[in-house]
Amino acid sequence: YDLAVIGAGPVGVQAAIAAASQMLKTKVVLIDAPRASGKLMNEETNEDLSIGGPTGLFSKALRDTAKRIQVSALRGMGLREDSVWNEIVSSCAELASFNARDIKRQLEYAGVTLVEGYAKFEDNSNGGSHHLVISNDDDNGKTTTTTTTTISTDKILIATGSRPFRPSGIPFDGVRVFDSDSINGLNYLPKSVVITGSGIVAIEFAKIFSNLGCDDVTLLIRDNSPKNALMKIGLDKDIAATLVADLIRSGIKIERGCEVGTIEVPSSSAMASATAANAYNNQNRIVPLKISLKAKGGENDRPLSSVHEIKCDAYVAAVGRLPNTNNLNLEAAGIEVDEYGGIAVDNLFRANGVKDRNVYGAGDVLGRPFLASTGVAQGVAAVKNMFPPSNPLDNDTSAIVSMCDPNDESCALEDDLLSQAAGVNPTTLTANPFAFPVGIWSSPEAAYFGLSTKQAEILGIDAGEGIALYAECLRGLVFSPNGLLKLVFQKSTGRIVGVHICGDDACELIHYGMEVVKNRRTITDVANSLYSAVTFHEMYRIAAISCMDPKAARKSRAAVGRALTERRR
């Protein structure tokens, strides 16, 4: 083959299609290990539901299902709990299956050869970095008969994604105690859930289970302030506060400054009942887990007034991810990795340490930010580096025209960051606020692009901000009054340098904000723009006007807040 791609997530699939489509007669093989891809399988048909989908495909499907299926209504109709859960799972499987079939259609159309199995570099002196061994066994001894095939290839792209970090001492079993991947195998609807984590994935699952009708959802966070914990992962202070307020309003409990001490799992007979189709009925419940809590770091006991033990039906650890490279035999090819197993690459995405410089990496295998969008961009860029286009203009980034005053230091800094983002340099992605938009698929959604006011100040930019409440536009007032949109702007020029949103469709709205920032629009530009009536985009104009007259804007928001309070009474 001209190219072998290891891993059939969104990064591997899109890179394979790009390589096969870019040059005639390019032979591309895509190697997919279905049961290593978040374990999202249709066991009845043995269909890989995760092919081409992001790590969070299951949670996204659950979130969508929770919007369409009213669990309380199904329970009110007298349906058994197992019937309710089957309805939920069937809906998720249908969504995932539709995506998987479409991905396979695209691969077939592009002429990509799809092979199922576990790939690793050949472990002998002749293999080097041009031979891969593909096996039906993941080295865990679960396959009774192991078959292997060896392929040769000119270039290799490693896109095997990431796996959840598993804290020591937690008895993960995939039945009652889950990580953020194994939760895909949940086969009952718990009535109480405990989730460790304060990041994007933890919040998403907390809201999902709350919307699915769980009576008791608890978040365990190490930080003493959930708002501060969210700000540490990049959220603006007001967006973080809005998300936390929504969690509390939804009845989700938050235990602060703590972590799991021990988890007492019931006996095997009690656990077996959890996996049965009739796990719940009106007469009995699953024997609960007992989770003891300790202070952050485990150095001191928690205060006597704090919660020391929680009982629940299911536990989920959502505390970060690690590059999924441990079973690839990277040392045989001389590939260098960091302390977490992340592949070290140069600015062309070539793996360091490989003699022939023919191995590339993209996506989560490089480490943060662990986002599908950035991984796909890296994968496509890697393919362009492997097979340079015949038209050199296709790879030209010089078209980024500066509209900055050369004497403005903050503007020059922004230009430098934007140029780095355009180059999709993996060494700058995590530190560059202009490299990619970030979306949190909770309910409500949250998203941001560019700088927060605090980040702007650190960079020496004298920045201001303006806020529009969802309730200040007609669509928000009628359909979704909770939420806000914030614009961060440079005071000296009025140029918008950041957009932050929390509310319905935030993950869609942010892309207009991204273009506003990238095209250096000012608050005057946005305030004078015409937006369609009864749309969320009207908030951009309201926020821009707020930047110009913050005193009047505060009075307007206060009046809207009072009106909402009256409406809810």
Residues 22-32 have pLDDT tens digits of 665 689 999 99
| pLDDT confidence band for 399 (50 / 70 / 90) | very low
> Is it the case that residue 365 has pLDDT exceeding 60?
yes
Residue 223 has phi, psi (to 5 degrees) of: -75, 150
- Residue 194, pLDDT > 90, answer yes
Token code pair at residue 539: 């908030």
Count other C-beta atoms under 10 Å from residue 301's C-beta: 12
Q: Which fold has domain 3-164+322-388?
A: FAD/NAD(P)-binding domain (3.50.50)
Sign (positive or negative) of CA dihedral 341, 364, 230, 92: negative
Return the exposure string of 427-439: e unless at least 16 CB atoms fall within 10 Å of the residue's CB, then b: ebbeebbbbbbbb
Q: Are 258 and 220 in contact (CB under 8 A)?
A: yes
Q: What is the mean pLDDT of residues 521-539?
A: 95
Please report the pLDDT score of residue 241 as a whole number: 93
| Residues forming a β-bridge with 313 | none
State how far the alpha carbon of 322 is from the alpha carbons of 14, 28, 236, 296, in Å.
22, 27, 26, 22
Residue 108: how many other CB atoms lie within 10 Å: 11
Are 227 and 241 within 8 A, CB to CB? yes
Cβ atoms of residues 88 and 73 within 8 Å: no
- Does 291 have pLDDT greater than 80? yes
- Exposure string for 52-78, b = 16+ CB within 10 A, e = fewer: bbbbbbbbbbbbebbeebebeebeeee
Residue 421: is its pLDDT beyond 80? no
Instruction: State which amino acid sits at residue 382.
Output: A
What is the predicted pLDDT for the residue at 127?
55
State mean pLDDT over 413-442: 65
Q: What mean pLDDT comes out for the span 150-157?
A: 94
- Integer Cα distance of 127 and 355 in angstroms: 12
- Token pair of 311 as six digits: 């009982």
- In tens, the pLDDT along 69-98 reads 777 777 778 777 777 777 787 877 788 888
We find that the CATH architecture of domain 438-567 is 2-Layer Sandwich (3.30)
What is the reported pLDDT for 264?
Answer: 92
- As a whole number, the mean pLDDT across the chain is 83
**Helix (DSSP H) and strand (DSSP E) numbers for the chain:** 16, 25
Q: Per-residue pLDDT tens for 249-273?
A: 999 999 999 999 999 998 754 554 4
Structure tokens, 235: 């959220």
**Helices 538-548 and 550-568, axial angle in degrees (round to 10):** 130
Pairwise CA distance, residues 474 & 227, whole Å? 29
Q: Which residue has the higher pLDDT, 228 or 143?
A: 228
Say if residues 243 and 203 touch (Cβ distance below 8 Å): yes
Asked if 308 contacts 302 with a C-beta cutoff of 8 angstroms, the reply is: yes
Q: How many residues in the chain? A: 569
Task: Judge whether residue 531 has pLDDT over 50.
Answer: yes
412: confidence class by pLDDT, cuts 50, 70, 90:
low
CA dihedral 517, 519, 522, 528 (to 10 degrees): -110
Closest residue by Cα to residue 442 from 505, 359, 510: 505
Spell out the residues 6+ positions from residue 274 whose beta carbon is closer than 8 angstroms to its own. 175, 176, 188, 286, 313
| Band of residue 427 on the pLDDT scale cut at 50, 70, 90 | low
Q: Do 438-567 and 177-267+285-319 fall under one CATH topology?
A: no
CA distance 481 to 485: 12
Q: Is the peptide bond before 444 cis (omega within 30 degrees of 0)?
A: yes
Mean pLDDT, rounded, for 263-286: 57
Domain ranges for the chain: 3-164+322-388, 177-267+285-319, 438-567
What's the confidence (pLDDT) of residue 102? 92
Q: Mean pLDDT lowest for which of 290-299, 362-371, 414-423, 549-558?
A: 414-423
For the ranges 92-96, 290-294, 496-500, 565-569, the lowest mean pLDDT is seen at 565-569
Q: What is the pLDDT of residue 504?
A: 93
Is a pLDDT exceeding 50 seen at residue 176?
yes
Burial of 453 from C-beta contacts in 10 A (0-12 / 13-18 / 19+): buried
pLDDT tens, 299-314? 667 777 788 899 999 9
pLDDT the model gives residue 84: 77
Right CATH for 177-267+285-319 from 3.40.50.10540, 3.40.50.300, 3.40.50.2300, 3.50.50.60: 3.50.50.60
pLDDT class of 41 with cuts at 50, 70, 90: low
Under a CB-based contact definition with an 8 Å cutoff, are residues 134 and 149 in contact? yes
Instruction: Report phi then psi at 457, rounded to 5.
Output: -65, -40
| pTM for this prediction | 0.84
Average confidence (pLDDT) over 99-117: 91
Q: What's the chain's Rg over C-alpha atoms? A: 25
pLDDT at 402: 41
d(Cα 150, Cα 160) in Å, to the nearest integer?
Answer: 19
Segment 391-408 mean pLDDT? 47
Check residue 439 and give its pLDDT: 87
For residue 566, is pLDDT > 50? yes
Average pLDDT over residues 537-557: 93
In the predicted model, is pLDDT for residue 161 greater than 80?
Answer: yes
Cβ within 8 Å of residue 390, ≥6 positions away: none
